[in-house]
A = this chain, B = another copy of it.
């Protein structure tokens, strides 16, 4: 039941209906911004003081009061009241209770529109930093495995058919590339998150002679939002973050898909660490790859969050509309999901144990070195398209006789091209195949080691926050 008067209620004859209060209140989710709100309020108050808008003694009272509020929040002793709608009014009300009239002056020269935009940006900046660290940690876990298994040969797949031999290290490095792009995108997104909206007030700026650059400096913002209407209504930063997070989750879901495949007895390429697996309530033998499955599933929710935000902002006239309050839950969910998934995947990847024998067995099915044979013919002067055709026919023969191409006798191979000689043998082995792919970006162990070194160089000095 609403008992206290709303802080904005001067013009209203009727009290807000309790059911409407429950529908419109954001406190259940924006409480999460409490410490960022205090921090931004402090910077705002100090600027008001420095600009002569707030008397020295009022500033002192506010500083004292906000410090008390912060302690209450940190110790989980703050008495949140749904009656006060949101985190901002809760804190302002408590401040005024603690320090009296000075508290009523804090909201000078600002509105909740620029205030919440500031809080969310501060919060998101922290989440991005955490995400950048976790991306780096996952990259390092992949690099450690890649380094350990730079020579380990496995079948590379396209269309889930055996394509060509690759090294396990090379395969893992593909994910390092994806995550590296994610780090780039998040870093660039961070720059756009890190602009100060405060000072835009309701939408037009304020009549007080404020110093926005001072607030930006104190809060670590790189720039001040250039247009007040845009500053209060812009949610680009949330959408861009969710887009970057969606893409990162798509990468994790691809890795997760492969782990699920590889952990299946049909592949058996890796063994997942047992403390990352769960059993079944009915089937006693089960050892399920729940973690990658959940990560794969969770990628969908971040895509959903992104869609929500895009649909939310579409066709909104300027400036702030209440719709924008719906930005927080999807944004929070996207950040939580991404950061939790990155962390758990780093642990999982570190514990992977590849099974060289299973990989070797799989290489024997699928004529993995057929391209090598075609290339071999090209080097003997056969045009590639004709070489391809000849090897294709040899594969047909191998299939017919139930063998892998690599194990066909030389005499049989020669039936498909007179250019085939005994030196073809090395070309048909997986080791020969990967060793021969020895240029920038290719799968030879030598190239894999160089790629690892480059990737480690890129990561240097980054992510040490983790």
**A107 CB-CB contact with B under 8 Å:** yes
Return the chain B residue nearest A160 by Cβ. Answer: B264
Would you give the shortest CB distance from A458 to chain B, in whole angstroms? 10
Q: Which of A9-17, A36-44, A122-130 contacts B (4 or more CB under 8 A)?
A: A9-17
Of residues 92 through 128 on chain A, the ones whose CB sits less than 8 Å from some CB of chain B are 92, 96, 101-113
> Contact between A366 and B250 (Cβ–Cβ < 8 Å)?
no
Return the chain B residue nearest A106 by Cβ. Answer: B384
Q: Which of A27-35, A63-71, A72-80, A308-316 contacts B (4 or more CB under 8 A)?
A: A308-316
> Contact between A314 and B314 (Cβ–Cβ < 8 Å)?
yes
Chain B residues within an 8 Å CB radius of A188: 184-185, 188
Would you give the shortest CB distance from A290 to chain B, in whole angstroms? 5
> Contact between A318 and B230 (Cβ–Cβ < 8 Å)?
no
> Contact between B317 and A389 (Cβ–Cβ < 8 Å)?
no
Chain B residues within an 8 Å CB radius of A396: 10-13
Query: Copy number of this protein in the oligomer?
Result: 4
Chain B residues within an 8 Å CB radius of A282: 107, 110-113, 201-202, 371, 374, 388
Measured between alpha carbons, how far is A454 from B227 in the docked complex, in Å? 12
> Contact between B278 and A375 (Cβ–Cβ < 8 Å)?
no
Chain B residues within an 8 Å CB radius of A321: 158-160, 260, 293, 297
> Contact between A391 and B205 (Cβ–Cβ < 8 Å)?
no
> Contact between B391 and A290 (Cβ–Cβ < 8 Å)?
no
A301, A318, A319, A454, most chain B CB atoms within 10 A:
A318
Measured between alpha carbons, how far is A40 from B230 in the docked complex, in Å? 43
**A136 CB-CB contact with B under 8 Å:** no
Measured between alpha carbons, how far is A366 from B177 in the docked complex, in Å? 35
Chain B residues within an 8 Å CB radius of A368: 285
Would you give the shortest CB distance from A195 to chain B, in whole angstroms? 10
> Contact between A159 and B289 (Cβ–Cβ < 8 Å)?
yes
Chain B residues within an 8 Å CB radius of A289: 159-161, 322
Q: Which of B14, B171, B306 lies in contact with A275, CB distance below 8 A? A: B14
> Contact between B307 and A303 (Cβ–Cβ < 8 Å)?
yes
> Contact between B454 and A226 (Cβ–Cβ < 8 Å)?
yes
Would you give the shortest CB distance from A313 to chain B, in whole angstroms? 5
Chain B residues within an 8 Å CB radius of A200: 441-442
**A135 CB-CB contact with B under 8 Å:** no
> Contact between B164 and A10 (Cβ–Cβ < 8 Å)?
no
Of residues 263 through 316 on chain A, the ones whose CB sits less than 8 Å from some CB of chain B are 263-267, 273-291, 293-294, 296-301, 303-316
Chain B residues within an 8 Å CB radius of A463: none
Chain B residues within an 8 Å CB radius of A208: 375, 378
Chain B residues within an 8 Å CB radius of A405: 285
**A466 CB-CB contact with B under 8 Å:** no
Chain B residues within an 8 Å CB radius of A15: 275
Measured between alpha carbons, how far is A347 from B19 in the docked complex, in Å? 10
Q: Which of B104, B232, B284 lies in contact with A371, CB distance below 8 A? A: B284
A105, A288, A329, A442, most chain B CB atoms within 10 A:
A442
Residue interface bits A208-232, CB-to-B below 8 A is 1, else 0: 1111110000000000111111111
> Could you list 24 examples of A-B contacts with CB < 8 Å?
A6-B278, A7-B385, A11-B287, A11-B392, A23-B340, A23-B344, A104-B385, A105-B384, A158-B202, A161-B289, A162-B265, A162-B285, A163-B202, A164-B204, A174-B319, A205-B442, A205-B444, A283-B370, A290-B322, A299-B314, A300-B307, A300-B323, A303-B311, A304-B311
Q: A8-B392, A108-B384 are in contact. List 11 more A-B contacts (CB 8 A).
A: A10-B391, A12-B274, A17-B275, A92-B385, A107-B384, A240-B243, A247-B310, A288-B322, A296-B314, A298-B326, A310-B311
- Would you list the 8 A-B pairs with minimal beta carbon distance, nearest first? A10-B392, A205-B442, A304-B308, A297-B323, A8-B279, A293-B322, A104-B385, A104-B383
